Copies of this chain bind each other. A is one copy, B any other.
Amino acid sequence: MSRVLNFSAGPAALPVEVLEQVREELLDWHGIGASVMEISHRGKAFLGIAQQAELDLRELLSIPANYKVLFLQGGATAQFAAVPLNLSLREATADYVNTGAWSKKAVAEARKYCSVNVAADAADSKYFSIPSQAKWKLTPSAAYLHYTPNETISGVEFHWVPETGDVPLVADFSSTILSRPIDVSRFGVIYAGAQKNMGPPGLVVVIVRDDLLGRARAHVPAVMDWRAMAADGSMYNTPASFSWYVAGLVFQWIKRQGGVAAMEKLNRAKAQTLYAAIDGSTLYRNPVDPACRSWMNVTFTLARAELDADFLEGAKGAGLMGLAGHRSVGGMRASIYNAMTLSGVEALIGYMRDFERRHG
């Protein structure tokens, strides 16, 4: 078996130690004689797994006691609907900041359920920058403000947290959760699909301040009803228990690495190293405003697009997977989530330099 260096944007690389533990336990978890995917979510074994995962996540992110942590299904896309359904009435206005493809999807979904005010739009920069908050047109009585801290397609990231006063701040942290410390108390709701920094696809974590649990409209699908899910330990229905278990192993792995502070140090180093290599080349170029460059998704283009296919083919031969940019924008994208090592990034840079020497 030979593992590649996996730069996929999501589903994405998981720590090899986690996968090895999953493999080890696959037919018999801790001597119970069955796989985690075969046991009742309401039995002692899985309840222990579920509770430990929540405790570890609470510890990693220093989640205050007045926040509920939910482990749901449907990814961020389900939460695009759940957010307005749980936090607004039809006649309400919600503010959204549009910084790219994922923001846009959140806006489109929210428009089904309430009035959306796009308080800021990064279109002027072709979504390669983030408008400063001074320019945002906020609604004073907004039901909430929604933004996307990291946009995976263009590779832009907020390195600051918006200030919204009494308006609940809601954020789609799918592609940046656990990559660095965050001050959860600044947020009303944080949600994140698991398939980048937490585990397999099919799981979405919702962290919601408990005073926001009473704002849902009358008719919310039960699987999207945060209050019902909070009341039932995310087990109003059968949860995605196996993915929850794998996410729990990832949380433990992060703790062993030194927690999110260690992840921040690693992720800053990886991103700085890779952006420096791009900026120092004549063949590669990153189009993003340096103040908003993503630590997680590093996009770059080749000076001559006709080399793209050769670049990707050679990368594959060098054991580097998942470097093609999103199909909507082309170019290249190296997603370097927590599980990507610094030596993995250095191997990518080595390949890029070698390719430049040969084609530059």
From B40, B195, B223, A78 is in contact (CB under 8 Å) with B223
Q: Which residues 5-51 of A have a CB within 8 angstroms of B? A: 6, 8-14, 16, 19-20, 22-23, 26-28, 32-35, 37-43
Is A134 an interface residue, CB under 8 A from the partner? no
From B34, B74, B319, A3 is in contact (CB under 8 Å) with B34
Q: Report the minimal beta-carbon distance from A251 to chain B, rounded to whole angstroms.
A: 16
Is A113 an interface residue, CB under 8 A from the partner? yes
Cβ B202 vs Cβ A73 within 8 A: yes
Complex Cα distance, B81 from A39, in Å, reads: 26
Q: Report the minimal beta-carbon distance from A98 to chain B, rounded to whole angstroms.
A: 17
Q: How many copies does the complex hold?
A: 2
Is A303 an interface residue, CB under 8 A from the partner? no
Complex Cα distance, B38 from A7, in Å, reads: 10
Is A2 an interface residue, CB under 8 A from the partner? yes
In the complex, the chain B residue whose C-beta lies closest to that of A221 is: B81
Enumerate chain A interface residues (CB-CB to B < 8 A): 1-4, 6, 8-14, 16, 19-20, 22-23, 26-28, 32-35, 37-43, 73-78, 80-82, 85, 109, 112-113, 193, 195, 199-203, 218-224, 236-243, 246, 319, 321-322, 327
With A202-B73, A240-B202 already in contact, the answer to whether A246 and B37 are too (CB < 8 A) is: yes
Note all chain B residues with C-beta closer than 8 A to A75. Answer: 73, 223, 237-238
In the complex, the chain B residue whose C-beta lies closest to that of A327 is: B42
With A2-B33, A28-B2, A223-B77 already in contact, the answer to whether A40 and B201 are too (CB < 8 A) is: no
From B22, B113, B241, A202 is in contact (CB under 8 Å) with B241
Complex Cα distance, B77 from A16, in Å, reads: 34
Q: List 19 A-B contacts (CB under 8 A).
A: A1-B28, A2-B33, A6-B38, A8-B34, A11-B37, A14-B38, A16-B27, A22-B26, A32-B321, A40-B322, A43-B322, A74-B78, A74-B223, A77-B222, A201-B239, A201-B240, A201-B241, A202-B202, A202-B240
Complex Cα distance, B76 from A223, in Å, reads: 10
Complex Cα distance, B319 from A22, in Å, reads: 23
Note all chain B residues with C-beta closer than 8 A to A195. Answer: 238
Note all chain B residues with C-beta closer than 8 A to A203. Answer: 202
From B85, B224, B243, A242 is in contact (CB under 8 Å) with B243
From B22, B42, B218, B240, A73 is in contact (CB under 8 Å) with B240
Note all chain B residues with C-beta closer than 8 A to A9. Answer: 40
